[in-house]
A and B are shown apart, each in its own frame.
Chain A
Amino acid sequence: MGEVLVITSGKGGVGKTTATANIGTGLALMGKKIVMVDTDIGLRNLDVVMGLENRIVYDIVDVVQGNCRLKQALIKDKRFENMYLLPAAQTKDKTAVSEEQMKNLSDNLKTEFDYIVIDCPAGIEQGFKNAIAGAEKAVVVTTPEVSAVRDADRIVGLLESSGLREPKLIINRIRPQMVKKGDMMSMEDIIEILAVDLLGVVPDDESVVVSTNRGEPAVMDKASRAGQAFRNISQRITGEEIPLMNLEANSGWLEKIKRWVTKS
């Protein structure tokens, strides 16, 4: 039986879709059979981030309404045999799917896949309720901004009251230099407020923008630091214990010598 993960945040634009694409791909890289489900009906974009936009024939609404079989709507990834995408509908809205239907869908997918990664829409309305209906574990994404943390707190509360205890936290787009200067909330500040377990910290990285636009998730880029962070996160999801990466590590050799000199 597979595991159903929902990636959520409350606030928009913090990187739910990017996280979903990267965690999904990260798990696929590890050889797991995974499916990503886009529940952002009406504003779908997981397919764009994955570079699979032109392969969509049927979508999630077609599946739950019985217009097609589940197998027909699943899009096989162009890079990995073991990775699939169930796209959202673009023409309907969030009410086209009910919580009950989402639960059934998750149960069906669970028999086929090791991991089901659900991309949740922003907000706390029907779309959010649908996304978490079938989920067993939740991952909350936030950025080091008070507004995002506030919304994440709200989401954690809602998740807890709907039975998704102990959600895990991803802090996205952190900038160590700014944290050092005291201009940005630190990891510790955020954890102190949210009081949930940390799944990973993703540094702010321009390569994510590039890879998102290309439809190639950053995890596949060996040189990308954000990609490395997402690979670690994927490994932690499978139960491996991976230490947090050193955010300050700068890859330049000059930096390395500088650090070595200051250390001794």
Chain B
Amino acid sequence: MLKELIKIKGTRNGLVFYFNTRDADFEEIKNTLIEKFQSANGFFANARFIISPDNDLNSEEIKIIENICCEYGLVKSANRVVKLDRITDRVNTQTAVSADNKTEYFMAEKDAVLLTRNIRSGQKIYVKGNAVILGDVNPGAEIAATGSIIVMGTMRGVAHAGSYGDDTAYVMAFRLRPTQIWIADKVCRAPESQFTVDYPEVAKIVDNQIILEPYQSSKRRVVNL
């Protein structure tokens, strides 16, 4: 069976195009794309689009593809491509553990993936859905989820909530001391000062900015479930 060369996914930021450059060359992909647009009868017109960075296309080839898209009435999205968009394909193929044995991919069956261990330096966790960690996330570790991230312990590493662009996602931890927090396409890093607090906090986007606030269970909008 011929592998799917082009995948199109709808996200908040518009359509994301994924190109399978492993199983086909550029010409083939280009022709398939044109075919797809022609058979769609203008269905894609006026839609915003992004090209996923998970491919081997060079900048010239990307330009050609963008031009084709524009020809068929699509509008190039001004949004920066979210860094972790590239995981989509791999998560969908349901590979639980990758070859290098350090980066692990999980897919939530219903709402969340529960991990009961410490995530240590050098380990990467990708979750499709929400992630709940019973343990610490140490500096040098990275955790990304398409939904929200909850750490029942100390969050010291890098967290990326809403990695597909969901800016209502949040990061919550008993002790929130991350090196970086990403929510959707926003990023913020820890302040240089040694100021730390000793209560649970939530990081979320308010007015296009990531803010940290004390976690209060009574505020349902904070938990957003």
Contacts and interface: CB of A to CB of B under 8 A. Distances in A.
The finding on whether chains A and B are genuine partners in a shared complex, rather than unrelated, reads yes
Interface of A: 150-151, 153-154, 156-158, 160-161, 192-193, 195
A195 B136 contact: yes
Interface in B99-131: 101-102, 117-118, 120-123
Contacts of B117: 160
A117 to B, nearest CB: 25
19 contacts: A150-B139, A151-B121, A153-B120, A153-B139, A153-B140, A154-B121, A154-B122, A157-B120, A157-B121, A157-B122, A157-B123, A160-B117, A160-B120, A161-B101, A161-B102, A192-B154, A193-B136, A195-B118, A195-B136
B101 A153 contact: no
B178 to A, nearest CB: 14
B138 interface: yes
B156 interface: yes
Contact of A156 (B120, B135, B156): B120
A160 B116 CA distance: 14
Contacts of B120: 153-154, 156-157, 160
Interface of B: 101-102, 117-118, 120-123, 135-136, 138-140, 154, 156
Contacts of B121: 150-151, 153-154, 157
A73 to B, nearest CB: 33
Contacts of B118: 195
A153 B121 CA distance: 6
Interface centre among A153, A156, A193 (most CB of B within 10 A): A153
A153 B138 contact: yes
B173 to A, nearest CB: 14
Closest 5 CB pairs of A and B: A157-B120, A154-B121, A153-B121, A154-B122, A153-B120
B175 to A, nearest CB: 10
Interface centre among B122, B123, B139 (most CB of A within 10 A): B122
Interface centre among B101, B102, B121 (most CB of A within 10 A): B121
A185 to B, nearest CB: 13
B125 to A, nearest CB: 12
A218 to B, nearest CB: 30
B136 A154 contact: no
A76 to B, nearest CB: 40
Contacts of B122: 154, 157-158
Contacts of B102: 157, 161
Contacts of A193: 136, 138-139, 156
A195 B153 CA distance: 12
A154 B156 CA distance: 14
Nearest to B119: A157
A234 to B, nearest CB: 28
A161 B102 CA distance: 8
A153 B163 CA distance: 26
B152 to A, nearest CB: 13
A160 B120 CA distance: 10
A180 B132 CA distance: 36
A167 B41 CA distance: 62
Nearest to B135: A195
B182 to A, nearest CB: 21
Contacts of A153: 120-121, 138-140
Nearest to A159: B120
Given A160-B117, A193-B139, 9 more contacts: A150-B139, A150-B140, A153-B138, A154-B120, A157-B102, A157-B120, A157-B121, A157-B123, A160-B120
A156 B123 CA distance: 11
B98 to A, nearest CB: 12
A182 to B, nearest CB: 11
A216 B123 CA distance: 39
A143 to B, nearest CB: 16
A222 B51 CA distance: 69
Nearest to B139: A150
Nearest to B156: A193
Contacts of A160: 117, 120
Nearest to B102: A161
Contacts of A192: 154
A101 to B, nearest CB: 21
